[in-house]
Structure 1
Amino acid sequence: MLRFDRTGDEVCPLSIKLHKQLDFNRHAEQIQYSAINCRKHSAILTDFGGKGDGKTSNTAAFKAAVDNLAKVASDGGAQLIVPPGKWLTGSFNLTSHFTLYIHKDAVLLASQEESDYPLIDPLPSYGKGRDGGGRRFASLIAGTNLTDVVVTGGNGTIDGQGEIWWKKFKSHKIKYTRPYLIEILYSNQVQISHLTLINSPSWNVHPTYCRDVIIENLTIIAPVDSPNTDGINPDSCTNTRIRDSYVVSGDDCIAVKSGWDEYGIKFGVPTAHLSIKRFTCISPDSAVIALGSEMSGGIQDVRAEEIYAINSQSGVRIKTAPGRGAYVKDIYVKNMNMNSMKYVFWMTGAYGSHPDNKYDPKALPEIKNINYRDMVGKNVSIVGNLAGIQGHPFTGICISNVTVELAEKKKHFEFSEKTKKLPWNCTDIGGVSSRVSPKPCDLLPEKQVDCAFPADKLAIDQVELKTCSIGIGNIV
């Protein structure tokens, strides 16, 4: 293993150190992990002065580690190992051909000091920070213009310590958009996996303007009343897969995005070819899978299956409004199991939040070819609340083989007497249904059909991860 002194300088020639590492590994237990690529060079955070006492700031140690490993990353890749301990840190950036590995007994503690998060410009497809204000705080773990970057571990923990941020946000005492836990921008070959993320100040995982993204085996937990703690938000990304993950959230568990009103329309980068499989969500006030509301670059070809929803506001929700422009189309969801829901299906063309008053109200989004099939719901208050845009309906909606058991009145979510009596509410939509109970609204007439789900596999679904290893004796 390549070693450094506390200044970040190499302490011995590479060839000698690699020989020592190979000899040591004959006797060391190995930690194995899966990654898009394994790494030739390794270092431990303590090589750069890191202290895992939960009190000492390790921001400088993380920055020094990444900067020094970047010098050798082009030669077979480099990895930084975060060993057991509690590692307090502010924001730091990753590099290309690089793995950040967080040991199962390691906890990254996010600093609660605003000064530990540099202010950065808003995303060009948003025009302003999502919390308001022109700028935003950098994410805890960040990276821009990277190739082949992995953030993984043995289910090690990243603790955003977000409560102080939530209180500031709720009391309007924060000027800029809160930091996210992980945000990777303008990058390709990205992997985020085998981690536990808790108490993020805001969104948890935010790949943006990326290609070939693998997100899997994440556990993401935040209090269900915490503001905007979305789980996984692929944003203007192409070829993304989300697998085998579990989210408890104060907002959408997965929120698919692509920019906000005129800024997203101008930037013009869609989210496309997204695959979601074996995903579980608890979110009493939000959606299991939300498409939008920021979708002004377009959303196309989303495939979700084997989805489990418990005590959540809605199963699948499409959120948009005049001014968004673009489209949400070619959406396919099947094999979804839901228990204790307010809605199974929810669409709205009047979501209404805008970055400013410069948007074009004539920029109407196109919502079409939306396919839901093979679903079961229990203890549900309303099956479908589907509302398009007047004079500009959502079309090509297909729902087949769906059975929903309604909740007893006054047992789950509260509604007016009128809405309690209606399992479906539909306006300005068009499509068909088949073998759906309770019977859908008249705008979804019965037709013997199995709604579409693509038979082919996306390219990202066919990527196989490699088995990599670390000598456990080197990190304890």
Structure 2
Amino acid sequence: MRRSLSLSVVEALLLVALIFEAQLWAVKGNSHCENLKPLEVRPHSVTITEFGAVGDGATLNTKAFQNAIFYLQSFADKGGAQLFVPKGRWLTGSFELISHLTLLLDKAAVILGSEDSSDWPVDDPLPSYGRGRELPGRRHRSLIYGNNLTDVIITGDNGTIDGQGSIWWSWFRNHNLTFTRPHLVELKNSTNVVISNLTFMNSPFWTIHPVYCSHVLVQNVTILAPLSSPNTDGIDPDSSDNVCIEDCYISTGDDLIVIKSGWDEYGIAFGRPSFNITIRRISGQTGSSSGLAIGSEMSGGVSEVYAEDLRFFNSANGIRIKTAPGRGGYVRNVYVSNVTLTGVKVAIRFTGQYGEHPDESYDPKALPVIDKITITNIKGENISFAGVIEGIEDDNFTNICLSNVVLNVKKNPPWNCSYVEGYSDLVSPEICEVLSESIYPGHFSDCYFPISRLQTSIGEDRYALLPR
């Protein structure tokens, strides 16, 4: 039953101030989704076959891709250029993109990653990680790679980029790797990036990894890997800002979408946060991980995350935050709304003791700040546990706000909470006591409500109480 509410003048003024602050973020934080263009016509275009490529699935075409892109570089200051990949199966090793380029795949085109590790060069580790994510030292370069670029488009009429990752998964399981596995697509230090209308399959490691990037749109993509495949994350915005991810279907062996910003002392020192991240209309499943996650590498900070209209099924977790002592950094101002969960083991999971450290030089006293996390309008069927929300002793996760959460839960007790503080309204089954104090009206300002969903979140009757 909805509580009877009344606002004092002070509370009303506080609410108005919060709305103004949220409105500023809404204008600044969501405009990138509308401003990025998913496709641009280039004045110059070539086809990969003009450079000797053979689409038989057996001929190695790395040189053809490299030569074609080298040729197109001369058009960068003339409106840019397009490299068209026609129908066929185009085997290749890693190749590097340039600025003002569109890589366009025909609907029947398949770019295949080589199964020979020597076709994937080895690079230095990312400075915000200090080492390869899996092994100390260097890491293999992604199949499609770019650094210090602007105005890059990877698109097609639902063509396919297949990393043929099973050989890498086998090397990982058998401890036969010398360096960390490669991603399928990684763009570094780049701006105005669009990835759209493609299917990505069988990545050796994370699938799409924009790192140190700004103004990135990932739209209308399908990402597939076996549910048993190790660490095949879908989309990992990492120390990046103004990122929009929308209208995607993802089914992989690890987190579907996960926001990162560096690892322990290296991420703290590098100090590049992820912020202004918009995620909407995403569906999919993952074998052992989460639909939407933040961390565990979040040492540079994560903030202003807005996610809505998510549908996850047959997965270990729905919404998750992962961190640990030694991470430092922060996760704050996160708003997740309109989520449907089916057959998910844990609907909402926050973990304060997650994951390993890059080396022994991390500072165990570098404690993360987790604050102002709002999760609202969640419904779930066939859920094992409603929530496992565990902070860190002497470092509580604060202002955790849950509103209008209705879950059909099998296990009892449905919630497990420790070292957290926050508020809730209209949560079923009944939430743990430390989060049971009502949001409205006294703690509304402690939660995070972007203006675009403010009226829905507080209800018509509450909104009407604002001074006019």
Task: Quickly name the TM-score band, shorter chain normalised.
Answer: 0.7 to 0.9
Following superposition, the deviation at residue 133 of structure 1 comes to 2.5
> Contact conserved, 1:342 with 1:380, CA < 8 A, in 2?
yes
The one-letter amino acid paired with 1:69 is L
CA contact (8 A) 1:99 1:151 kept: yes
Give me the whole-angstrom Cα distance separating, in 1, the residues matched to 2:256 and 2:345.
Answer: 15
Instruction: Look up the match of 1:421.
Output: 412
**3-state SS of paired residue (1:337):** strand
User: 1:471 maps to which residue?
Assistant: none
Say which of 194, 197, 209 aligns to 1:194. Answer: 197
Q: Is the 8 A contact 2:55 2:91 kept in 1?
A: yes
Tell me the residue number matched to 1:433: 424
Shift of 1:456: 5.1
Q: Is the 8 A contact 1:333 1:453 kept in 2?
A: no
Q: CA deviation at 1:422?
A: 1.2
Pairing 1:279–2:279 present: no
Which of 283, 289, 292 in structure 2 is aligned with 1:289? 292
1:26-425 mapped onto 2 (5 Å cutoff): 35=38, 37-407=40-410, 420-425=411-416
Query: Is 2:183–2:205's contact at 8 Å kept on the other side of the alignment?
Result: yes
Residue 38 of structure 2 contacts residue 219 of structure 2 at CA under 8 Å; is this kept in 1?
no
Which deviations, in whole Å up to 9, do the C-alpha atoms of 1:59-96 show, x marking residues without a partner? 00000010000111210110000000000000000000
The amino acid that maps onto 2:107 is: K
CA contact (8 A) 1:41 1:73 kept: no
Is 1:454–2:450 an aligned residue pair? Answer: yes
Counterparts of 2:422 and 2:102, CA distance in 1? 47
Tell me the distance in 2 between the aligned counterparts of 1:66 and 1:203: 24
Runs of 5+ consecutive residues of structure 1 not aligned to the other structure: 1-33, 408-419, 458-476
8 Å contact from structure 2 (residues 45, 82) kept in 1 = yes
Amino acid of the structure 1 residue aligned with 2:451: A
Q: Deviations over 1:446-472 (max 9, x none)?
A: 415376431259xxxxxxxxxxxxxxx
- How far apart are the structure 2 equivalents of 1:319 and 1:148? 33
In structure 2, the residue corresponding to 1:426 is in which secondary structure?
strand
Q: CA deviation at 1:303?
A: 0.3
Per-residue CA deviation, residues 97-156 of structure 1 (Å, 9 max, x unaligned), is: 000001100000100101101110000000011111300000000000001001010110
The aligned counterpart of 2:10 is: none
Asked if the contact 2:423–2:437 (Cα under 8 Å) also holds between the matched residues in 1, the reply is: yes
1:179 Cα shift?
1.0
Alignment correspondent of 1:23: none
Q: Count residues in correspondence.
A: 412
TM score, norm. by length of structure 2: 0.87
8 Å CA contact 2:311–2:341 kept in 1: the answer is yes
Amino acid at match of 1:439: E
Deviation at 1:161, TM superposition (A): 0.6
Residue aligned with 1:70, SS:
helix
Distance 1:382 1:308 in 2: 17
8 Å CA contact 2:130, 2:358 repeated in 1: yes
Q: Which residue of 2 aligns with 1:469?
A: none
CA deviations 1:139-189 (Å, max 9, x no partner) are: 000000001001010110011111110000001001111111100000000
2:12 maps to none
- Partner of 1:229, secondary structure, is coil
The TM-score normalised by the length of structure 1 is 0.85
CA distance in 2, matches of 1:305, 1:35: 20
Shift of 1:367: 0.2
Query: What residue in structure 1 maps to residue 3 of structure 2?
Result: none
Q: CA separation in 1, counterparts of 2:439 and 2:327? A: 34
Distance 1:267 1:312 in 2: 33
| CA distance in 1: counterparts of 2:449 and 2:288, whole angstroms | 28
Cα shift at 1:315: 1.0
DSSP-derived class of the 1:46 partner: helix
Task: Write out per-residue CA displacement over residues 340-379 of structure 1, whole angstroms, 9 at most, x where no aligned residue.
Answer: 0111110011113111111000000000000000110010
The answer to which structure has the higher helix fraction is 2
Q: For 1:154 and 1:453, how far apart are their aligned partners in 2? A: 37
- What amino acid is the match of 2:194? Q
Contact 1:103 1:153 in 2 (8 A): yes
1:406 CA drift (Å): 1.3
Q: What SS does structure 2 have at the residue aligned with 1:285? A: coil
1:281 CA displacement: 1.9
Report how far residue 285 of structure 1 moved: 0.6
Give the deviation of 1:330 after TM superposition.
Answer: 0.3
- Give, in whole Å, the separation in 2 of the partners of 1:89 and 1:452: 46
